[in-house]
Homo-oligomer: A and B are copies of this chain.
Amino acid sequence: MEHGRVLLDHGSGGEASQRLIRELFLSRFSGPSQPALDDAALLDEIRGPLAFSTDGYIIDPVECPGGDIGSLAVHGTVNDVAMLGAVPLYLSCAFILEEGLPLPLLTRLAQSMADAAAAAGVRIVTGDTKVAPRGAADKIFITSAGIGRVIAEPAPSGSRAAPGDAVLLSGCVGDHGLAITARRGGLSGLEGIRSDSAPLNRMVEALVRDVGDLHVLRDPTRGGLAATLNEIARQSGIVCRVRETDIPVRDTVAAGCAVLGLDPLYLANEGKLVCVLPRHKADTALSVMRLFPEGRDAACIGEIAAPGADGKAGQVVLRTRLGGYRLLGMPEGEQLPRIC
């Protein structure tokens, strides 16, 4: 099974499908007690409200420094569930495979998913595999969905940012977007830049338990930090004010972006979160974030203000490095297709 290529037969629902699922996926994904061959997974009762999310992954290339489409499909959905102040518990994964995909690659990606799920403490409990004829899909697409138990009360939401809140960012931005750009273009000098793909659920759990009163949690993926801050400003009808000098960006990423004409505030991240909460909780929240390796560079990057002379409801105002102010707009078009 670990040699050869994906055939149309692997998507037939017959003998070849069963073998692929059993040997390649179930052996890696299922726990000891999982009746994994039924149409749906049977899960124990979950007490309290639930978080439910899904994301499709079509990233190209499928493997890059710091991650691959498999780990990304786990981290991305784990993080989306966590952003509701929830503990992610279960994932589903649906594969769309292109006929001819090398089985050794699929095996690596499945192992990467299993490892990412184990590291995040979630279980992949149900899935599906379809095979598209050569040329009808590009290599592999993975769609995951996740279920979690909401532990924040009330749950954070993009609509709950309030004047007086602080805006925190858990680490450096731009790594994932630049790593993919560099890998895709074969750009020399940027090989060291790695995707930041990582699960954020343990950090969120600590923030909920040890800090509380989280108004907004959101991970700045596609569209980057700029899109996320604009979404929050619009959903809450407030002004988001951020300071360019306080937004952490790695030197290598800043340099790479300067060369390529990219803005790190618009580049995708896969292991960062924005947290908006009352100002008096900001320091405690930052120290909790910094307990985690992925939160080492956490910083307070700005605050939420009421609409007024300095900004309208829904706007993001950036204080630039030179001390001026400019609107940080919502990205209009696609900076980089197939980034996640």
Contacts and interface: CB of A to CB of B under 8 A. Distances in A.
Contacts of A16: 332-334
Contact of A12 (B93, B130, B335): B335
A286 to B, nearest CB: 22
Instruction: List the 5 shortest-distance A-B pairs measured between CB atoms, nearest first.
Output: A13-B222, A13-B223, A14-B331, A145-B145, A40-B53
Interface string A78-119: 011101101000101111100000000000000000000000
Contacts of A135: 135, 138
A321 interface: no
Contact of A221 (B13, B37, B42, B158): B13
A38 interface: yes
A39 interface: yes
Interface string A43-83: 11111111111111110100000000000000000011101
Contacts of A93: 54
A127 interface: yes
B330 A56 contact: no
Q: Give the interface SS of chain A, mostly helix, strand, loop or mixed.
A: mixed
B155 A223 contact: no
A138 B147 CA distance: 29
A21 to B, nearest CB: 11
A92 B132 contact: no
A205 to B, nearest CB: 15
Contacts of A192: none
A255 interface: no
B49 A45 contact: yes
